[in-house]
Amino acid sequence: MYFVDCCEDNKSESCDIFDGEWVPDEDIPVYTNNTCRWIESHQNCMGNGRPDTGYIFWKWSPKACELPRFDARTFLGMMRDKSWAFVGDSINRNHLQSFICLLSQVEDAVELYHDPDYKNRKWHFPSYNLTVSVIWSPFYAKADIFEDINGVSSSEIELHTDILDKTWTEQFHTWDYVIFSAGKWFIKSAIYYENKSVLGCHGCNGKNNYTDVGFNFAYRKILKNVFKFILKSSPKNMIIFRTSTPDHFENGEWSSGGRCDRTVPANEGEFKMNELNRILREIELPEITKAEAEASEKGMKLKLLDVTPLSLLRPDGHPGPYRHFYPFAKDKKAKVQYDCLHWCLPGPIDNWNDLLMNLVVNG
């Protein structure tokens, strides 16, 4: 059996794999930037010149049981003739890259499709007839976004809370396994619509006298609609909802000089979730709990992948200034944009797939 049940009291109770700690790991990473060609440049910390490597030599260890590492060969064997999709934002795409890199150490993926911006892509593992897709849908719902490539907005996002994004809904029935994860984009300024009428807004500074109802209003409403759609659909899919992950900006934020220079995991309690991340989590957990219960009654598989607490302890795992290629090569004091939100590859995010395999095998 792949997973060892909790056995401290010799009872056959399932172990809480999300309750644990980061422990040193002497094993070298399964892949590197030289052995996986699917790492996007902004997460290629090694290739971009990050000088320390200690952040890759840790593994997540549940307190009450052993968590096996992701076994790509076993996983591929289980997934013969199956299809996977990662639906959500850029952090979900970050997770997808880790997933593809791990599998590609057994058989390199063949890319079947990408859109012009490389936000929607599809791969195939020929020997196993496994397809893996990534779908860009940061709100899960229809949204008109007015941003340039650097994330600079020319106007508020127009978000239709009652219309799910057909980019994923029209393909949903074709997938056997789907991972949903988003959240961060809801923090952006937006005008909310329902039945083509304005419901309110978030961060619109009184524009047109719209009522600021807060991003929590839209996130909760859309999550309810997502789960309603899933629960009405075919029960053949296994649905995994991954919680949103905290950032680790210190002394500022993304646009105000925030940094993340740590090189080791944080101690328990050292980092607290900021208010925005806390609100996201307070919305996600009750909604997924209700959806899980209803799915179970219908014989459907809907699982929670709760990576928030373990990710909170890894301020060392972000690209920081090494989202850029050798950022200090010409000037050691150069002012560069830090990324303390996404994750280095390889890095802590690879451990998410240990947890993912556990959910799939024991689901």
**Residue from 104, 306, 342, 354 carrying the catalytic annotation:** 342
Tokens of 235: 């029960």
Secondary structure class of 147 (helix, strand, coil): strand
Q: What is the DSSP letter of 54?
A: G
**Residue from 89, 165, 306, 339 carrying the catalytic annotation:** 339
Q: Is 90 a catalytic residue?
A: yes
CA 124 to chain centre: 21
Q: Prior bond to 346 cis, omega within 30?
A: yes
Distances (CA, A) of 311 to 13, 22, 278, 352: 25, 10, 14, 9
The number of beta carbons lying within 10 Å of the beta carbon of residue 348 is 26
**Residue from 90, 98, 137, 311 carrying the catalytic annotation:** 90
Do the beta carbons of residue 95 and residue 244 sit within 8 Å? no
Do the beta carbons of residue 184 and residue 190 sit within 8 Å? no
E-only strand ranges, the chain: 20-24, 58-62, 83-88, 110-114, 121-125, 130-136, 141-144, 157-164, 177-181, 190-194, 197-202, 238-242, 301-305
Active-site residue set: 90, 339, 342
